[in-house]
Amino acid sequence: MTDTIHWNDLTAETFLADYWQKKPLLIKVAFTDFVDPVEANELAGLAMEDFIESRIVAKKAQNWDVKHGPFEDFSEFGEHNWTLLVQAANHWFDGIDALVEPFRFIPNWRIDDVMVSFSTPGGGVGPHLDQYDVFIIQGEGKRRWQVGAPDDTLTEVVPHEDLKQVSSFTPIIDEVTEPGDLLYIPPNHPHDGVAIENSINYSIGFQAPSAQELISAFADHQLDNQLFEQRFDDSQRQATKTPEELTATDLDLLTNVMNSALQDKSVIQEFLGKYLTTVHHTLNLLIPTEPMSIDFINQILAEGEELNPVLGLKCILINQPENMKLFINGESFPIDNDMLEFTRMLAAKRGLTSDNIKSSLLCLKNAQLLTTVINKGLWTFE
């Protein structure tokens, strides 16, 4: 079962205090009686689709090769020393998406997606570093994992133009994982996993945008919305005797122009809400062939149907006194106190039934919002 993590002597709180972004951790049998939510042939089926990002990393002798999907046939790779990796597999299988639930003690916005890998004996991607936190659940099979501590002496190795590795490292974890085991690896910790037998792994990755990524995306957001319009103002200019200098006063004035873009909290929040809910892999949006009215939606709910968000959808609620908004899939929806309970359910991506939202839909604003997200294909009846 994967409803909860069996922490053994830890709790979610002690994990965050002692391990999160600090040191790796292996929890044996974190999930009892673990059953794979996907089989290898189903994963291979995803890798045949051109709208799904996939790749195969293979090693022959000392030579590494990387091929990108979609794939039509896997027979050329043989029975050893290769790994198939499928990004955002949680967008397509309920059971894979459910693997995220035990990690909700970390805010939803931090969770990126679930990558699933299938490896034949000897398969792996080599020793490497990641810039993000990852939990790896061992599914079918066994895998030997070695994880090291951050080490500035490591050198980058590029055995293939699409594959970055690092030089050998001294492991502080060297264990074989079996079904239900959970491995946590913080950023910048070298690690290497090699399959002992046919093996499936589920990697729950966490987004941690860099300053460069945030500033670049924020600049694009400002330009797209024509928000970078304040100009330099030196209306109090005094005559200078050193025209060749950029003075401290002018430096301060220019800096203030730049800083002004970061002073409006509502602008920052609008950007972050959209940025952090933008999904970078295809969603299975289910847009109705004909727009649904709230009366029709209520009728279907009354028949016992349940509304659920499409798999992999990202939602954030900003509940600040001066700025209340719901963000879904890179789009913002203004809300108010009357809508807070209902929008919290949307942001939490709970299943919606007549029983739990009937009273909320008496509020016209809630009804209009629900109609909007359904007609955008973001929520659908199951």
- Tell me the pLDDT tens digit for each residue of 250-280: 999 888 888 887 778 888 899 999 999 999 9
Between the alpha carbon of residue 79 and those of residues 122, 143, 197, 284, 318, the distances in Å are 9, 16, 10, 32, 50
pLDDT value of position 116 = 99
pLDDT for 129-165, tens place per residue?
Answer: 999 999 999 999 999 999 999 999 999 999 999 999 9
State the CATH class of domain 12-206: mainly beta
| Mean pLDDT value of segment 290-296 | 95
Average pLDDT across the chain, whole number: 94
Domain layout of the chain by residue ranges: 12-206, 210-229+261-382
Q: Which CATH class is domain 210-229+261-382?
A: alpha beta
What pLDDT, on a 0 to 100 scale, did the predictor assign at position 145?
99
Q: How confident is the model at residue 24 (pLDDT cuts 50, 70, 90)?
A: very high
> Hey, which bits of the chain come out as E strands?
25-27, 54-60, 63-68, 82-86, 111-119, 134-138, 143-148, 156-160, 163-166, 171-177, 182-185, 191-195, 199-206, 307-309, 315-320, 323-328, 331-334, 379-381
Residue 339 has pLDDT above 70, yes or no: yes
Q: Give residue 368's pLDDT.
A: 96
What value does the mean pLDDT take over residues 271-299? Answer: 94
Mean pLDDT for the stretch of residues 210-230: 84
Residue 226: per-residue pLDDT: 74
Residue 1: what pLDDT? 57
pLDDT(371) > 90: yes
**Predicted local distance difference test score (pLDDT) of residue 284:** 93
> What number is the average pLDDT over the span 92-108?
96
Confidence class of residue 188 from pLDDT cuts 50, 70 and 90?
very high
Average pLDDT over residues 157-180: 97
Query: Which amino acid, 168?
Result: S
Q: What is the mean pLDDT of residues 20-37?
A: 97
Among left, alpha and beta (phi > 0; psi -120 to 50; other), residue 174 is beta
